[in-house]
Amino acid sequence: MRDRFRSSIKKLESYLPWYVNRTLTAAANQKVTQGLQENPELGHSLQEWETVQSLVKKQPLQQPSPAVQERLMARVRACNLPQRNIIPLWFSRAWGITLAITALLFLWVMLQPGVQLQWSVNQAQIAAFNIYRAPAGSVDFALLYAATDPPRAREYRFVDTALWNGRAHSYRIVALGAEGQALFSNEVMTGAHTALPGQLAVILTSIIIGYGAVMLIENWPTPPRRFQIC
């Protein structure tokens, strides 16, 4: 019981500096006032704090010199500037390359930049299409794509995305019947330069996405801690 009483007195004593400064909450202020009435020992402690307060108030107010203030504020500003994340260089570069390749594949599949071939048919019994390609002026056609069991339609479309040398090419489209016989054949010549702008746009867009990811990771700031002094 006595220990509990001493603990209560110690707690009230810890409130005395703020009681003297009149900064306690109403509830805490009431507890201290009641304790002072019941415990003369607490009153002696209050007198000591009032003496300390009186001595402090008699001291002249001193301000640090402008040079000291400037050095202190410079340290505060330096420590509270946004700092870059410490991320390994290989990680940001690998992430950028991965993102660029992913974007390239996605855009290439979705946009299909290349030479577009379109043709229409009248026959209904077409079992397959063979598409051949040869350099312009050559008769050495090589099989480029074979479409077996194509959907029943009147209009067909094929995109050749594997052109890089900028040369013109000839395309031959052969429709095959159920027995493998050629039903009709059509030939068209086009320049690869028609596909080049779209292909370059997809590649440059992918590079920009990857480079932007690298710059974002390497320059992402960390928020400063408030009122930090180094």
Task: Give the model's pLDDT for residue 163.
Answer: 67
Q: What pLDDT does residue 14 have?
A: 85
Its domain, for residue 37, covers 2-58
Identify the pLDDT of residue 103.
Answer: 94
H-helix or E-strand spanning residue 221: strand 221-222
Q: How far apart are CA 26 and CA 30, in angstroms?
A: 6
Judgement on whether residues 52 and 97 belong to the same structural domain of the protein: no
196 and 122 in a single domain? The answer is yes
Beta-carbon contacts of residue 91 (< 8 Å; ≥ 6 apart): 217
Q: Is residue 191 part of a domain?
A: yes
Ramachandran angles phi, psi of 114, nearest 5°: 175, -170
For residue 211, what are its two tokens?
A: 């480079």
Instruction: Enumerate residue ranges in the chain where pLDDT < 70.
Output: 1-5, 79-86, 123-124, 163-166, 192, 221-230
Q: Can you tell me which residue has the tokens 């704090």?
A: 49
Contacts of 93 (CB under 8 A, 6+ apart): 214
Single pTM value for the model: 0.51
If DSSP codes are grouped into helix, strand and coil, which group holds residue 150?
coil
Q: Can you give the pLDDT at residue 208? A: 95
